[in-house]
Amino acid sequence: MATTTPPPQPLDHFIERDGVRFAGIHLLVDIWGAHGLDDIDLTERALTDAVRAAGATLLHTHLHHFTPNGGISGVLVLAESHLTIHTWPERDYAALDIFMCGDADPYKAIPVLRAAFRPDAITLTENKRGLIP
């Protein structure tokens, strides 16, 4: 009697932790008292290094520097989702979104961002996206 192997299931890159299945972790990160928020080269290096530290796959980077010494807004598109930044150098403040699915760990990006921007304070909110009921 021949046995058949069921067809492989497609990968959905959802995460399962503590019995909960969801699409990914979305961190909302505010950094206060930060340095270099008007330096586009520093920002690009920091974000790229943060993606690498998190184990994510960078697909595309787009950063916009509003004026010399002005704020920066940008997105890094990842195979695992995205990382965005908006800076207010006049307030030493930046807002970042880090959304990653699969095996990437967005928490591993935080020490890289801390080292690059040397903030006085970081606030962090975690959201589990795509919770399966």
pLDDT digits (tens, 9 = 90+) for 88-100: 999 999 999 999 9
Q: Which of 13, 35, 82, 86 is catalytic?
A: 86
Q: Residue 5 carries which DSSP code?
A: P
Residue 89 is encoded by which pair of tokens? 């150098």
Paired residues of 98 in beta bridges: 27, 83
Burial, 40: exposed, middle or buried (Cβ in 10 Å; 0-12, 13-18, 19+)?
middle
Residue ranges and CATH numbers for the domains of the chain are 24-129 (3.60.90.10)
Residue 38: the pLDDT is 96
Return the pLDDT at 4: 73
Per the annotation, the verdict on 64 as an active-site residue is: no
**Can you tell me the distance from the alpha carbon of 17 to that of 110, in angstroms, rounded to the nearest whole number?**
20
Residue 93 burial class via C-beta count within 10 angstroms: exposed 0-12, middle 13-18, buried 19 and up: middle
Render pLDDT for 27-62 as a digit per residue (tens, 0 to 9): 999 999 999 999 999 999 999 999 999 999 999 999
Among 35, 73, 81, 82, which one carries the catalytic annotation?
81
In a 13 Å sphere around the CA of 35, the CA atoms on its Cβ side amount to 7
Tell me how far apart the alpha carbons of residues 131 and 84 are, in angstroms, rounded to a whole number.
22
Is 0.75 topped by the overall pTM? yes
Quick one: pLDDT at residue 2?
Answer: 64
Is 81 annotated as catalytic? yes
86 is annotated as an active-site residue: yes
